[in-house]
Amino acid sequence: TDVAQQCREAGVGGVLFPVLDENRLNRVQNDSELTEHNRDDRGNRDSQRILHRMNTDEYLNALEGAAKELDIPVIGSLQCHRRGQWFPLAQQMKEAGAAAIEIRPYRQEIHRSVRSDQVEKSILRTTAYISDRLESPLIVRIPAFMHGIQTFVQALGEAGAAAVLVEPPDMVHAVDVESLSITDSGEDRTAAHAAFITALSTCRALYRRVNIHIALKIPDSAASSLVMALMGGATVTTIPVDGTDGAGSSQLVRRYLTYLKKWTTTHSMRNLFNFRGIVSESRLHSSL
C-alpha cells in the first residue's frame, strides 16, 4: 500500500494488483517426499486446503487495505484453472473493495499447444460466465496478436468485458541461421522492446474498430513507450513497478509523465484527444 500511495502521489490514476493465481496458491510440494502410501493422505489434503485459504485471505486483506487507504481505483487480478473458482474469487475481490476485476483466462503453458479457435472459445466462455454474475467492470488480459483479433475482442465486449489488456508475448524468439535453430531472447532489452512493439501493433489494429477500452502493458525501459502506446490508441497503460521499492516506483512514474508532458509541449498537443490513435491503422487510407 505504501508503494501504491507513492505512485498515486506521482500521478497514477489506478492500481492493478498482482495476480491471484488460484492454481499456485498451494504450498509447493516436493514430490520426492511422497510415496504411494502418503500421496493421497487425508491430512496432507487438509493441510493444502488450509494453506490455500490462508493465501487467499492474505491477498484479500491486502486488497481491502489498499482500497480503503487509496483514493484511486484498485483493481484485483485473477487467474484460475477450474471454471467454478472464477466467480467466487472475483466476488470476494469485489467485496474487498476492488473497483474492477482483471481476469487472465489465457495460460501460455497450457494453451500454446491448443488450436486458436478452441482457446478463443474458452476465453469467451470464461468471460461470459463471470460477467453474467459479477456486477463489476471486467477486464480481460489477452496475448498480443491472437488470430482474428478484431472480431475476437468485439466478441469479448459482447460477452461482457469492459476492456482488454493487451500483453506482450513472454518470450521473443530469434532464428539462429548458423545453428539452424530458434533461440529465446526474453531477457534481452532489445527483445523486450520487440515484444512491446508486437503488442503495440495489436493495439493499433484494434483502435476504433472495437467498442471496448484497450489497455496496453508497457515496459519500464523507455519513457517514450507511454507516448507510443497512446499514439497507438491505448485508453489505459499499465506500468510495472517494484512492490518493495516505493521511491524507485514513484520515480519511474514521474519519468514517464515528465516525458509525456515535454513531448506534448514540443508537439503543441493540448490534450490527449489531439494525438491518441494518430498512428493507428484506422488512420490509413486502406487497411490492406
Dig out the grid coordinates for 90 from the structure.
472475483
Task: Give 220-278 pLDDT, tens digit per residue.
Answer: 888 999 999 999 999 999 988 877 788 889 999 999 999 999 999 999 999 888 899 99
For 26, residues 6+ apart whose C-beta sits below 8 A from its C-beta are 48, 51, 52
* pLDDT tier for residue 30 given thresholds of 50, 70 and 90: very low
The chain-wide mean pLDDT, for the chain, equals 84
Q: What type of residue is 79?
A: Q
Position 50 pLDDT exceeds 70: no
Strand segments, DSSP code E, in the chain are 15-21, 74-79, 100-103, 138-143, 163-167, 173-176, 181-184, 213-217, 236-238
Dig out the grid coordinates for 221 from the structure.
525501459
Position 28 pLDDT exceeds 80: no
**In contact, 161 and 129? CB cutoff 8 Å:** no
| Beta carbons within 10 angstroms of residue 258's beta carbon | 12
Euclidean distance between CA atoms 214 and 191, whole angstroms: 23
Euclidean distance between CA atoms 112 and 114, whole angstroms: 6
Coil, helix or strand for 242?
coil
Report pTM. 0.83
For 43, residues 6+ apart whose C-beta sits below 8 A from its C-beta are none
pLDDT at 232: 94
Element (H, E) at 228: helix 224-232
Task: Give 199-221 pLDDT, tens digit per residue.
Answer: 999 999 999 999 999 999 998 88
Euclidean distance between CA atoms 168 and 220, whole angstroms: 13
Average pLDDT over residues 124-144: 94
pLDDT at 145: 73
Euclidean distance between CA atoms 221 and 205, whole angstroms: 24
Q: What is each CA distance from 197 to 17, 144, 166, 219, in whole angstroms?
A: 24, 10, 11, 10
Query: What percentage of the chain exceeds 90 in pLDDT?
Result: 53
Average pLDDT over residues 34-41: 52
pLDDT at 46: 54
Dig out the grid coordinates for 163 from the structure.
476492456
Looking at per-residue pLDDT, the higher value among 114 and 173 belongs to 114
pLDDT at 34: 47
pLDDT at 76: 95
**In contact, 218 and 195? CB cutoff 8 Å:** no
pLDDT at 288: 61
Euclidean distance between CA atoms 167 and 64, whole angstroms: 26
Task: Give 67-101 pLDDT, tens digit per residue.
Answer: 999 999 999 999 988 888 899 999 999 999 999 99
pLDDT at 1: 80
DSSP state of 84: G
**In contact, 1 and 66? CB cutoff 8 Å:** yes
Euclidean distance between CA atoms 124 and 100, whole angstroms: 18
285 DSSP β-pair partners: none
